[in-house]
Each structure stands twice: as C-alpha cells, then as structure tokens.
C-alpha cells in the first residue's frame, strides 16, 4: 500500500501500519465482527472528502460548498434503501451503537421500558446493558436463549406481555440461528410495541439473500457497515417513511454533529458492491464456510453452542475442557488465528474471562477460503486448545495457519 507521504511526515505511524498490514496478511481472521474492505472502499475513506464539514441533511446543510458531498450521501441513502427494501435511510451514524441510540432518542423518554436480548446470551451493549446508555437511562428487560442456544419466542411473548415494553429489539452480536422477524413483529403488535431489528452482524447475509430480511416487519432497522457487509466502520438507520423526519432529527442535531463524509463515501461504495451478483455468491460462501468450520470443530471433539450455525458465526463452548475463553483466545493468536473470548449461556466465568470463543467466517471468505480450508482451520483450533501448553505442537500449527494465509493472499 502506498504510504509515501505518510512515511515522509510520520515514519512511526507508517511503520505501525506496515506491521498491521503484515499481521492481517499472515493471520487467519475469525473475529466475527471484522472483515476486509475492498481497496475501492479504502480509497474513498482516504480521500479529500475528509476535509469537508457538512452538518445537516443533503441539500439542507449549515455549511456552503456541500454540493458534491450531498450527491455522494444521497447515493448512499438510495443504495441502502434499495438493497434492504426500506423506505428511508440515514447513513450518518458513526457506529451501530449510535444508530441504536438515535432510535432510542426518537422513540423513548428516559425510564421507558425496552425488551432486548441479554448481553451474556448474545445481545449487544446497546440493547440494554446496565453499563451502557441503553441500560442507564431506560427500564430494560431482557430475554435470552434456551439450552439449545435458540431464542424461545414463547418466552419473549410472555416477557413482552408482562413488561409491556414500548420498544422490542431483535438482532444480536452473538447468535448463530436464523432470526424470525415475522414472529418478533407479531409479538410487538400483540403488546403495542415498536420493533427495532439490529442486523449489524447479518446485514451482508440479508443483502446476499441468505438470511430473511426484516423489511416489512421492523419499523426500524439499524446496522453497522463493516462485518458481513464488508464496508467501512460506521452505521446506518433505516425506517418506515412516517418515522423519517424524527429519525433524521435524532441523528442531527440530537445525537451527533458533522457527518464523516469520507466514511459515507466508503459506505456508498460498499453498498454498491453488496448489490452485485458476486456479493450474493460471497454471502452464500460465508454460510457454507461457517457450517464447514462448525462441523470440523465437532468432528475434532469440540462443543458448539446450539450444535450448529445457520449464519456466519458460532461460539465454542469450552466448559468441558477446563480452559477459559480468555486463555484460549491468546493461544489461538499464538498459532496465527485471531478470535475473541465470549460468554456462553449461563457462563460460570466472568465476562472478562468467559467459557467461550466466538468465531466468524466473513473475513476469511473475503480472502477466498473455501470449505476444505475451514476444515483445516478447525483442526488447528481444536489441536491448539487440546495442546495449549505444548510449544512444539503450537509451532507446527502456526506453520499450518501461515500456509493457509499464503494460499489466499490479502491485498496483493
């Protein structure tokens, strides 16, 4: 990658970028919330658009000179609406959490009741964690998963009837099953609640047609633009037309100031890429790779929450191994695999230690990994965990992961 000017100005930062590129190129990336953007997305994000301040909506700015960024932001909006089948899109949120915050700000008053997925069962911080704005300012009640790692929709209905929330949130940061948006809308309608579908993790799968869409069921849909969508880090809110003005006002001036127009340009590019036939094939391959990884882990004696995945991710359940997610994530990094520690349902360990490891297939699928590669990854993971204190075994496993990386080059 060309860093000629940066090297002249700040060689220290340039050096760390070089090192990070090498790390990405020589590491198998299984963090489920990470992916690799195209070079086109990176070029948009690194463009002169970073210089432009543009508070307000397209064609209704508080600054002059916004004619070009207006058109780019409008492109991103239209592409998001078309891709996800929604009436309105606001592409300004800086993150998925801020997208969720804007929905809260528009719909709720402090103290209003929200029903969301418990963080320890696979939900997200911004779905009501007590340490997050969502749990600090609102009366949050939670649902979780059963022993099979699946949402019990009858339990969700019972909780909705008991708590009478104004907003129900579906979507997760660590849930390996298909989400039934239709059932969630039926539950929301039964208690008079609005429905927010947070599809941050599955947006690319929805766009690629391998996961049902929340369009037509959820009045509000939020997403990040990285993860399976393979764009820059950022957020989008989509909603029914009747809520458009309120959502736009909640984003600006309610929640944030000037939008990041260079990142919005990257979002526009990623949304265009996600509308292609090649992206649909990519989404299908993600699911096939995830299933191959899960089956490979099972074949190598590992346990997975829920037994099998239906999307891009899964959680290794280490409770039978006597080892922790924190320690084993570090061991996997030693053999060239990056993943993150994660709680399992009813985890006996703390969230800082955990009994699980979350694994995702989106990033390696971007590199071109196929099912046979995922089986090899499963072998490496299982044997690293089983032989976590054997340096010779770990060294041989590192050689296997490096060979896989060389087989599928990144950013050549």
Angle at 361 between CA 359 and CA 364, to 5 degrees: 120
DSSP 136: H
Distance (Å, rounded) from C-alpha 321 to C-alpha 128? 31
Whether residue 2 lies in the annotated active site: no
Of the residues 118, 198, 248, 310, only one is catalytic, namely: 198
Whether residue 55 lies in the annotated active site: yes
Distance (Å, rounded) from C-alpha 89 to C-alpha 81? 6
Residues 293-320: b if buried by 16+ CB within 10 A, e if exposed: bbbbbeebebbbbbeebbbbbbbbbbee
Of the residues 159, 166, 185, 233, only one is catalytic, namely: 233
Contact 221, 237 (CB under 8 A): yes
| Cα–chain center distance at 389 | 32
Distance (Å, rounded) from C-alpha 362 to C-alpha 293? 12
Whether residue 153 lies in the annotated active site: no
Whether residue 222 lies in the annotated active site: no
Of the residues 57, 185, 227, 358, only one is catalytic, namely: 227
Distance (Å, rounded) from C-alpha 224 to C-alpha 97? 8
Of the residues 27, 37, 224, 228, only one is catalytic, namely: 224
Strands (DSSP E) found in 274-324: 303-304, 313-317
Residues 136-167: b if buried by 16+ CB within 10 A, e if exposed: ebbbbbbbbbeeebbbeeeebbebbeebebbb
Of the residues 7, 26, 53, 113, only one is catalytic, namely: 53
| Cα–chain center distance at 317 | 21
Closest CA to 360 of 391, 405, 410, 314: 314
Whether residue 137 lies in the annotated active site: no
- The token pair at 31 is 């963090």
Of the residues 7, 26, 34, 55, only one is catalytic, namely: 55
Contact 200, 173 (CB under 8 A): yes
Residues 341-356: b if buried by 16+ CB within 10 A, e if exposed: bbbbbebebeeeebbb
Whether residue 338 lies in the annotated active site: no
Q: Which residues are catalytic?
A: 53, 55, 198, 224, 227, 233
């Amino acid at each position: 990658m060309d860093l000629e000017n940066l090297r002249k100005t700040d060689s220290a930062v340039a050096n760390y970028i070089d090192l990070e590129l090498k790390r990405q190129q020589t590491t198998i990336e299984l963090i489920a919330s990470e992916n690799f953007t195209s070079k086109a997305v990176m070029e948009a994000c690194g463009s002169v658009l970073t210089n432009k301040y543009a508070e307000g909506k397209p064609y209704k700015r508080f600054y002059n000179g916004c004619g070009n960024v207006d058109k780019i932001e409008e492109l991103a909006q239209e592409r998001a609406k078309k891709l996800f089948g929604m009436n309105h899109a606001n592409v300004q949120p800086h993150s998925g959490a801020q997208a969720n915050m804007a929905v809260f700000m528009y719909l709720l008053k402090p103290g209003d009741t929200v029903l969301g997925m418990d963080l320890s069962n696979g939900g997200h911080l911004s779905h009501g964690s007590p340490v997050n704005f969502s749990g600090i300012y609102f009366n949050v009640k939670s649902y979780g998963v059963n022993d099979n790692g699946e949402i019990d929709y009858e339990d969700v209905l019972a909780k909705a009837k008991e708590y009478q929330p104004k907003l129900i949130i579906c979507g997760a940061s660590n849930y390996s099953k298909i989400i039934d948006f239709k059932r969630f809308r039926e539950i929301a309608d039964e208690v008079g609640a609005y429905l927010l579908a947070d599809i941050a993790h599955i947006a690319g799968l929805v766009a690629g047609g391998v996961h049902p869409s929340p369009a037509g069921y959820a009045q509000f849909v939020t997403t990040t633009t990285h993860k399976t969508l393979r764009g820059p880090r950022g957020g989008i809110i989509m909603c029914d037309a009747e809520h458009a003005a309120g959502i736009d006002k909640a984003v600006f001036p309610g929640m944030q100031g000037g939008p990041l127009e260079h990142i919005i340009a990257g979002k526009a590019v990623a949304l265009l890429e996600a509308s292609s036939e090649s992206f649909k094939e990519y989404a299908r391959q993600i699911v096939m790779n995830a299933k191959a990884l899960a089956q490979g882990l099972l074949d190598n004696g590992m346990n997975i929450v829920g037994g099998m995945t239906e999307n891009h991710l899964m959680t290794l359940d280490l409770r039978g191994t006597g080892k922790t997610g924190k320690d084993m994530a570090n061991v996997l990094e030693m053999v060239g695999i990056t993943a993150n520690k994660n709680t399992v349902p009813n985890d006996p360990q703390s969230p800082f230690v955990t009994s699980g490891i979350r694994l995702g297939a989106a990033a390696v699928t971007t590199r071109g990994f196929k099912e046979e590669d995922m089986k090899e990854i499963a072998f490496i993971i299982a044997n690293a965990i089983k032989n976590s204190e054997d340096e010779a075994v770990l060294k041989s496993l590192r050689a296997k992961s490096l060979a896989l990386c060389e087989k599928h080059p990144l950013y050549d």
